Chain A
Amino acid sequence: MMFQWILIAFSVFAIGKVLKQYRSQKISLHSFLIWALFWIGVVLVALRPSATDEIAELVGVERGADLIVYLSIVFLFYAVYRLLGRMEEQRREITKLTREIAVREAKKKDS
């Protein structure tokens, strides 16, 4: 029981945080909705854990807890993939910036 309440409290806190970020325009409406939905989902699961079992059964997984672990792994893999892609993009941008500075500040002996 205790764990459920902690989870709910944390979710409410997280939703508040996301809302604040959205209001100060730090994140887009798109990511606000995704995160809000995610945390609302967490609250719902915390309130009624047996619901995950029902969903799990629907998709052919034995236990709700297992389903959550599976989904988490898939989500994490995807997140890592996106992150690596973003890093690659940044690497290219840094190179471009470095190149631009180098070309602009090219030197010759007499200049």
Chain B
Amino acid sequence: MRIVAIIPAYNEEQRVKAAAEDAACFVDTVVVVDDCSGDATFDRALEAGAHVLRHVVNRGQGAALQTGTEYALRELGADVIVHFDADGQMQGEEIQKVVAPILSGEADVVLGTRFSKEVPKVKMPLVRRVTLFLGLLFTRVVSGIKVSDTHNGFRALSKEAAEEVVITLDRMAHASEILDLIRAKKLRYTEVPVTIRYSEETLQKGQSSLNSLKIVKDFIKGQFWG
């Protein structure tokens, strides 16, 4: 089984190397997609020993994930695709846990969740908690899929699922789109608790809570003109 981690990265020269090296311990190949960063993200990722792809125009995280997925399927013959973040919020060792249901054939898609009874409550700013809850509600109504964490970037997909789940929403709404596709394509999915470490730095760099409105807008646009 060839497991490939896809790491979309935008201006992550400080953290991408560590994240790629961390992931590399638990997968066969790491693919970093540099989404037209203005810094040395590309070189740092190369140093980490990853396959590095570069978007010549910034297209957003969703687009970067899809680029990495197509490369992994077409050029690397991947059997399992793992979505991983460049900012060090995720733990590489948890990849094993996330891919396990796919390796055992229990699920086609595994979604990481921050909200699970099995793991202690994570420290999270209140605004973010509320925003995530609203996102959950929106997804439940629109996509009709019941998950505990809609915008967790830690995922794993089997080869077959990755071929079906084609992300067309370039920016952040891709997370909702993936859930939508899981339902539309009738894929078997399961959730696995993961630890996301928030730090001052990553919170600043990460999505502002206001961005969630933009996600809703992009998603609706996708439904109209998709």
Contact with A along B191-226 (1 / 0, CB 8 A): 000000000000000000000000000000100010
If over half of B's interface residues share one DSSP class (helix, strand or loop), that class is named, otherwise mixed; here it is mixed
Q: How many residues of A contact B (CB 8 A)?
A: 18
Question: How many pairs, one residue from A and one from B, have CB atoms within 8 Å of each other in the complex?
Answer: 61
- Cβ contact within 8 Å between A98 and B52: no
Complex-state Cα separation, A41 to B71, whole angstroms: 54
- Cβ contact within 8 Å between A103 and B225: no
- Cβ contact within 8 Å between B51 and A94: no
- Cβ contact within 8 Å between A98 and B221: no
| A107-B46, A109-B46 as given contacts; A98 in contact with B51, CB under 8 Å | no
Of the candidates B49, B74, B168, the one whose C-beta lies within 8 Å of that of A103 is B74
Determine, out of B56-64, B108-116, B137-145, B147-155, the stretch whose residues face the partner at the interface.
Answer: B56-64
B176 interface contact, C-beta 8 A: no
Contact with B along A58-76 (1 / 0, CB 8 A): 0000000000000000000
Point out the residues of chain A lying under 8 angstroms from B54, CB to CB. 102, 105, 107
Determine, out of A1-9, A14-22, A42-50, A85-93, the stretch whose residues face the partner at the interface.
Answer: A85-93
A83 CB to closest chain B CB, in angstroms? 11
B21 interface contact, C-beta 8 A: no
Point out the residues of chain A lying under 8 angstroms from B53, CB to CB. 102-103, 105-107
A-contacting residues of B (Cβ < 8 Å)? 31, 33, 46-47, 49-57, 59, 63, 66-67, 70-71, 74-75, 168, 170, 221, 225
26 pairs across A/B with beta carbons < 8 Å? A85-B225, A88-B221, A91-B170, A94-B57, A95-B63, A95-B66, A98-B63, A99-B55, A99-B59, A99-B63, A99-B66, A99-B67, A101-B55, A102-B33, A102-B54, A103-B71, A105-B53, A106-B31, A106-B71, A107-B46, A107-B51, A107-B52, A108-B49, A108-B50, A109-B46, A109-B49
